[in-house]
Amino acid sequence: MIENLTGKVAVLTGGGSGIGRAMAERFGSAGAKVVIGDIEPAALDEATAALSAAGADVHGVPLDVTDPASLDRLRNEALERFGAVHLVCANAGVAPIGMIADTSLSDWRWVVDVNLLGVVLTTTAFLRNLTGQGAGHLVLTASLAGLTTAPGLGPYCATKHAVVAIANTLRAELTGTGVGISVLCPSLVRTRIFESERNRPEALGGAAVETGPARTFFQQTLSATGISPAEVAERVYEAVTTGRFWVFPHPDEVLAAAEAHIADIRATIGG
Ligand SMILES: NC(=O)c1ccc[n+]([C@@H]2O[C@H](COP(=O)([O-])OP(=O)(O)OC[C@H]3O[C@@H](n4cnc5c(N)ncnc54)[C@H](O)[C@@H]3O)[C@@H](O)[C@H]2O)c1
């Protein structure tokens, strides 16, 4: 938990757009110094300029969360610029759409590298600094897809379940260290998540997108029902400043998913 973010240093991956940018804006408005890393240069520049114009002390760093050296640079630049790091948000993620039968091995590797190993690398790049100073907070961006599944999002759901497992494990491992942790599990949020292929490396297939009915369904549902990134950022801000582990911006959907899961188990076991 970080009760008061004034003067604290927040580092965010995937801070150039969507939820990451909104969290950076929320922490900046609370007086935090902000370091945002992102793979997309134009989004990174635009977010850095907007945060600065809004009065935040901000530093932008080109970042690829699949590369340990890139994360070392992010940490080193944050420490050089601001002297310490207090809040780390492992947020960068990608969500290509397609049925498992049609998903290439290179897409599995891309999603696992960004969504799972990217979170692992971000966490480990900063964890010793946080535990060494005996204070700080980690936020791992998972998803409602970390608690349930959806046809067309197989690799995404698999990696988000893994992020929830990592967060739960760290919750126990960090007990008594002074370092807190939250796991963010939103349902749909109005961002460019379903245009993730814009950031797929050429070696793994480049920007080509699957154009089947699942994509249309997810994009239409996101436009129709998605909440704003700012609403999500507010829930994260509350969790960080009060020390809450679970961050559920869509509580009704989470409860429905959990109850359906238990009902399924009960129907199998009986009782
Ligand atoms: N939008 C939703 O409906 C939703 C729901 C649940 C969870 N999430 C999660 O929220 C997080 C943020 O996504 P978003 O919705 O804001 O989408 P977004 O596409 O707007 O933002 C994702 C950001 O991550 C960056 N990124 C992608 N690959 C990267 C890499 N290798 N290294 C560094 N940065 C990289 C992108 O450039 C982008 O700025 C993701 O982890 C996503 O899975 C999103």
Which DSSP category does 104 fall into?
-
pLDDT band at 271 (very low <50, low <70, confident <90, very high): low
Ligand 1 pocket: which of 11, 12, 17 to mutate (most atoms within 8 A of CB): 17
pLDDT band at 212 (very low <50, low <70, confident <90, very high): confident
Specify the fold of 9-269: Rossmann fold (3.40.50)
CA–CA separation, 254 and 148 (whole Å): 9
pLDDT band at 30 (very low <50, low <70, confident <90, very high): very high
Q: Residue 155: what pLDDT?
A: 98
Q: How far is the CA of 192 from the centre of ligand 1 (A)?
A: 8
Average pLDDT over every residue of 126-133: 98
Average pLDDT over every residue of 95-109: 95
Say whether pLDDT at 38 is over 70.
yes
Lookup: tokens for 70: 């890139």
C-alpha to C-alpha distances, 173 to 2, 62, 103, nearest whole angstrom? 19, 31, 35
Q: How far is the CA of 229 from the centre of ligand 1 (A)?
A: 11
Q: Is 236 exposed, middle or buried (0-12, 13-18, 19+ CB in 10 A)?
A: buried
SS3 12: strand
SS3 141: strand
Average pLDDT over every residue of 244-270: 96
Q: How far is the CA of 146 from the centre of ligand 1 (A)?
A: 15
Q: Are 136 and 2 in contact (CB under 8 A)?
A: yes
Tell me if residue 156 is catalytic. yes
Q: Residue 263: what pLDDT?
A: 96
SS3 34: strand
Q: Residue 184: what pLDDT?
A: 99
Digit-coded pLDDT (tens) for 144-176? 999 999 999 999 999 999 999 999 999 999 999
Q: Are 164 and 183 in contact (CB under 8 A)?
A: yes
Average pLDDT value for the chain:
97
Q: How far is the CA of 122 from the centre of ligand 1 (A)?
A: 14
Closest CA to 93 of 235, 219, 191: 191
CA–CA separation, 247 and 240 (whole Å): 10
Average pLDDT over every residue of 77-95: 98
C-alpha to C-alpha distances, 159 to 17, 113, 142, 179, nearest whole angstrom? 21, 9, 8, 24
SS3 145: helix
Among residues 27, 82, 110, 156, the one annotated as catalytic is 156
List pocket residues of ligand 1, CB cut-off 6 Å.
Answer: 13-14, 16-20, 38-40, 43, 63-66, 91-95, 114, 141, 143, 186, 188-189, 191-193, 196, 199, 222, 226
- Against a cut of 0.85, is the pTM above it? yes
For the chain, which residues make up each domain, given as ranges? Answer: 9-269
Q: Residue 1: what pLDDT?
A: 96
Average pLDDT over every residue of 26-42: 98
In the sheet where 33-38 sits, what is the strand order?
A: 58-62, 33-38, 9-13, 87-90, 136-141, 179-184, 246-247
Average pLDDT over every residue of 74-96: 98
pLDDT band at 214 (very low <50, low <70, confident <90, very high): confident
Average pLDDT over every residue of 120-125: 98
Say whether pLDDT at 62 is over 90.
yes
Q: Residue 168: what pLDDT?
A: 98
